[in-house]
Amino acid sequence: MAKPEACCSKCCKIVTISLMVMKYGRVVPPYVFFFMCCASYRIHSIYILRLFNDPVAMAFLYLAVNLFLDDHWLLGCAIYSIGVSVKMNVLLFAPALLMLLLYTQGLNGTILHLALCASIQLLFGLPFLLVNPVGYMMRSFDLGRQFFFKWTVNWRFLPEDLFLNRYLHVSLLFLHLAVLALFYFSRWSKKYGGILKLLSWSKPKVTALSANDIVLPLFISNFIGMCFSRSLHYQFYVWYFHTLHYLLWNTALPVIYRVCILGVIELCWNTYPSTV
């Protein structure tokens, strides 16, 4: 008889794939789903053989994205906030989500949506805030904590002392913000309007957004965050695995190159230690 945690993990994988099919079917060809569903040993391991909370958080995120696509922004923000409460990596999507909210809801509407997100976080954290508010806040938002060098995938090629260096961490944060700003001013501002337009108090009269107009900025925002993360552990692969296919099929690269890129990324995440 299957253990409850195994059943939970399998259900989470099925839900995630179902949500991705609903979203991807509008952009990518059907054969891409083979690579998403069957071609990753590491993802199968994360979902089926482990009990990480990363897949649960991402399932909530993908559900929220589907709600955004159906113009249910308030409910989508509620589901998004639940995903954040499971694991804070979901915040990597926040820069693009903020831009989309400002574009579709105006500043006043955006504040209301953000207030809903904050209220949900407060509700989930209330039992801990009532007992030890200082400890809860410090441990929940401990941005200065160190990661174990032996588990890092993306920075294992560096010397350990450099990996632990605070200047590297600050540099990565600066680069993260700089690349987000670069994408906004070079790619997104023409589509979604300048700062003054986005900060309008009233709900703007906007052109209806296509599925790609919503999904692509969210996935790019997350991918940028992944590129400049201080450390990526093996289970973090699920943070962006299901978005890679969408991102690649939004490029002009030949199909064989896209498939090769997926294969190389999979190889990197299946190698331990990561520098072997």
| 94 pLDDT higher than 70 | yes
Distance, CA of 191 to CA of 193 (rounded, Å): 6
Q: Which residues contact 29 (CB under 8 A, 6 or more apart)?
A: 249
pLDDT, position 1: 46
Q: Which residue has the higher pLDDT, 118 or 185?
A: 118
pTM summary value: 0.89
Give mean pLDDT, residues 184-202. Answer: 73
Q: How many CB atoms lie within 10 A of CB 255?
A: 12
Instruction: For the chain, give the number of residues.
Output: 276
- Provide Rg for the chain, Cα atoms: 19
| 84 pLDDT higher than 70 | yes
Distance, CA of 227 to CA of 269 (rounded, Å): 14
Give mean pLDDT, residues 72-93. Answer: 95
* pLDDT band with cut points at 50, 70 and 90 for residue 209: confident
- The answer to whether 21 and 244 are in contact (CB under 8 A) is no
pLDDT, position 141: 72
Share of the chain above pLDDT 70, in %: 83
Give mean pLDDT, residues 203-217. Answer: 80
Q: Which residue has the higher pLDDT, 91 or 3?
A: 91
At 119-172, the pLDDT tens digits run: 999 999 899 889 888 888 877 776 667 788 888 888 888 888 998 888 999 999
At 7-58, the pLDDT tens digits run: 666 676 666 767 766 666 666 777 787 777 777 878 888 887 777 889 899 9
pLDDT, position 33: 78
At 217-234, the pLDDT tens digits run: 999 999 999 999 999 988
Q: How many CB atoms lie within 10 A of CB 7?
A: 11
Q: Name the average pLDDT for the chain.
A: 85
pLDDT, position 254: 93
pLDDT, position 265: 92
In angstroms, what CA-CA distances link 90 with 57, 158, 170, 208, 234? 7, 27, 21, 25, 17
pLDDT, position 239: 94
Distance, CA of 103 to CA of 106 (rounded, Å): 6
Q: Which residue has the higher pLDDT, 100 or 40?
A: 100
Give mean pLDDT, residues 82-87. Answer: 93
Ordered by start, the domain boundaries in the chain are 4-269
pLDDT, position 276: 52
